[in-house]
Amino acid sequence: MLLVSYKFAAFFAGLAVVYYSIPRRYQWVLLLAASYLFYAGGGPVYLLYPMATTLSVWLIARRLSAMERPSKRLLLLGLLLNFGILAVLKYTNFALGNLNRLAGTDYSVSWVLPLGISYYTFQSMGYLIDVYHGKYKAEPNLARFALFVSFFPQMTAGPINRFDAMKQELFAEHRPDSVRIWTGAQRMLTGYFKKLVIADRIGPAVSAIIASPEVFDGPYVLLGMLGYTVWMYADFAGGIDIVIGAAQILGIRMTENFDRPFASRSLAEFWRRWHMSLMQWLREYIFFPAASSRFSQKTAALFQKWFGKKCGRKAPVYIANLTVWLIAGIWHGASWNFVVWGLANCVVMLISAELTGVYRKFRKRFAFTGRKWYRCFEVVRTFLLFCWLEMFEYYPFMTVFAMTANLAASLASGSLADGRLQLLGLERADWLALLISVLLLVLSGILTGEKRISARIRRSPAWMQYAAVFGLFLAVLITGVYGRGYEASQFIYNQF
């Protein structure tokens, strides 16, 4: 069941009515039933996967919580079992493809990846590790834990939530609150705007550019770079807005996943603002354990002996960063493109970290680095760097550099008005709608600063609130891209 469909609209509207009509102590039970019904929409057999994760993690966590000294072997059993399921389902064909190239064979498997398996697996493993470290006791009620794993909005595109943050939210008794419901509906409408008006309109055009690099070269490389980033952000952030807004209508707050990433002045800052729940998970459960691991400490000792104390101190940080970004790349997709993309991000940020002293001296020497125009330059530079790095996701390694050289050579003389623009399938009205929509997103980010636009709207006069929301509704209704039966194209991040 897609979030952008008549089915989901009817499903969620009916759920919300029943949710606030039944005795409040049964609300979480209704959410569990609704979550399993939602997940079964893709095929009842796929319920077996989140159920297997739920039962295995609940049993192991209960046992760990009861131990005076939690067993590391038992923790590893839970991690290997559940990450093993994820690896088999998501990466078997990737492994077979590499073996086929070496052996000249043609083996593959045909199973379908369950919805959101990476999200609920990472979320459940975070819970298991927290219980092992004694951050909180294991949840004694299997059904309550099942709701934490399978709460239906987050199954589509995250965010990756923490049990200690979600426990009170999921199991509290929620009364209907008009302000909260209104705000949640606004958030959902914003998500539909990003998805239907921007993402689903620009997606096919970007796909056409990416699929034919020999046709769309020169300035089209830049158009593809920028378009891919806009497409991915509007699609992913739109899905998150719908998810968080739906949960908010039900009285449940979930962690945010974006914090104006395109206002970042460095790549490291960008990744602190983009897909925040995943990056926080990787930082807590991968970076710190990897940096303090026995391997890292031994490597640090060797580096200190061979290259000096300074290099030895940096070795654990380098190892941890490489591990994080290798996993981040593999998490995003079962292909070498994503592995290279992750490592490319890591290399750029490590080089930037090494040049911190140079940047500091540069800023001290030149006063203009404190002015607004220079900060804007840093923001634009970071945005273009991110767009360029995204090319590793959809082009082979050497093709990225070839296309970059082609762009640099032909940008001054190349033109978008050479007839190829018509091959992208967008009419003038589509380009106009995209331009206005993207400008609205940029303007809303500038005007709201660090505060969400919904908070600004709530402080506005009532007539202005209704006018803004009604205008957004009309924009979605009139300019949205609709498929058959209101079934828009699947969210990019659903596959994870």
Q: Which residues form the catalytic set?
A: 332
Cα–Cα distance measured from residue 167 to residue 51, given in angstroms and rounded to the nearest whole number:
19
Give strand ranges (E) for 88-178.
none
DSSP 8-state code for residue 258: B
Query: CB under 8 Å to 305, separation ≥6 — which residues?
Result: 312
Residue 349 CA from chain centroid, whole number: 19
Cα–Cα distance measured from residue 344 to residue 326, given in angstroms and rounded to the nearest whole number:
10
Phi, psi of 330 (to 5 degrees): -65, -35
Query: Is residue 170 within 8 Å of residue 151, measured between CB atoms?
Result: yes
Angle formed by the axes of helices 178-192 and 462-479, nearest 10°: 30
**What does the block give as tokens for 231?**
């497409």
- CB crowding 275-300: b at 16 or more within 10 Å, else e: bbbbbbbbeebbbeebbeeeebeebb
Distances (CA, A) of 108 to 45, 246, 256, 273: 21, 38, 38, 38
Residue 122 CA from chain centroid, whole number: 13
Peptide bond into 159 cis (omega under 30): yes
Residue 406 CA from chain centroid, whole number: 31
Query: Is residue 309 within 8 Å of residue 285, measured between CB atoms?
Result: no
Cα–Cα distance measured from residue 234 to residue 240, given in angstroms and rounded to the nearest whole number:
10
Q: Residue 304, CB half-sphere, CA atoms under 13 Å: how many?
A: 11
Residue type, 107: Y
Cα–Cα distance measured from residue 306 to residue 312, given in angstroms and rounded to the nearest whole number:
9
Residue 106 CB-density burial (10 A; 0-12 exposed, 13-18 middle, 19+ buried) = exposed
Cα–Cα distance measured from residue 95 to residue 496, given in angstroms and rounded to the nearest whole number:
17
Which secondary-structure segment (H or E) carries 491?
Answer: none
DSSP characters over 31-97: HHHHHHHHHHTT-GGGGHHHHHHHHHHHHHHHHHHH-SS--HHHHHHHHHHHHHHHHHHHHHHHHHH
**What does the block give as tokens for 359?**
């940047």
